[in-house]
């Protein structure tokens, strides 16, 4: 029982450290560059794709779990991983594999965004 608690605590610590490092890197980029948030999101997602393609992101996911899959770079990992697994079946599945792998997340984002748009009154930010 005690060893299970320690194992779960260690899993939380690893997820926090890796996820925190990814978010800290993004915050440093926001603070010291003129990049917009949208560009940073795209760069992090593409970094997840590239790191998955060269085999670096999978060991990070195995080590940190949600700490590596929850940030936007994890979405790039998910898309690339789906495409890689789909490519084993053929070209068509390489294209649709990434969509199938990410479909639940994309659907949730669209549905919850729609619900929030109905609840809250959106307006532009004033500087």
Put residue 59 in one of left, alpha, beta given phi > 0 → left and psi -120 to 50 → alpha.
alpha
Q: Please count the other Cβ atoms lying within 10 Å of the Cβ belonging to residue 10.
A: 10
Q: What is the mean pLDDT of the chain?
A: 90
Q: pLDDT digits over 68-93, tens only?
A: 998 889 999 999 999 999 888 888 88
Q: Give the start-to-end residue ranges of the domains of the chain.
A: 2-119
pTM score, two decimals? Answer: 0.77
Q: Tell how many helices (H) and how many strands (E) occur in the chain.
A: 6, 0
Phi, psi for 36 (deg, rounded to 5): -80, 165
| CA–CA distance, 41 with 51 (Å, rounded to integer) | 15
Q: What is the pLDDT of residue 127?
A: 62
pLDDT tens, position by position, 51-64: 999 999 999 999 99
């Amino acid at each position: 029982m005690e060893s299970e608690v320690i194992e779960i605590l260690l899993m939380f610590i690893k997820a926090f450290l890796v996820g925190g490092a990814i978010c800290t890197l993004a915050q440093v980029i926001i603070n010291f560059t003129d990049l917009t948030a949208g560009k940073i999101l795209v760069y992090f997602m593409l970094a997840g794709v590239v790191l998955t393609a060269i085999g670096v992101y999978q060991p990070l996911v195995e080590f940190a779990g949600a700490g590596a899959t929850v940030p936007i770079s994890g979405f790039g990992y998910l898309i690339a991983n789906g495409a890689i697994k789909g490519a084993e079946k053929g070209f068509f599945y390489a294209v649709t594999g990434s969509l199938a792998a990410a479909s639940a997340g994309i659907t949730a984002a669209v549905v919850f965004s729609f619900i929030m748009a109905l609840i809250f009154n959106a307006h532009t930010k004033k500087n």
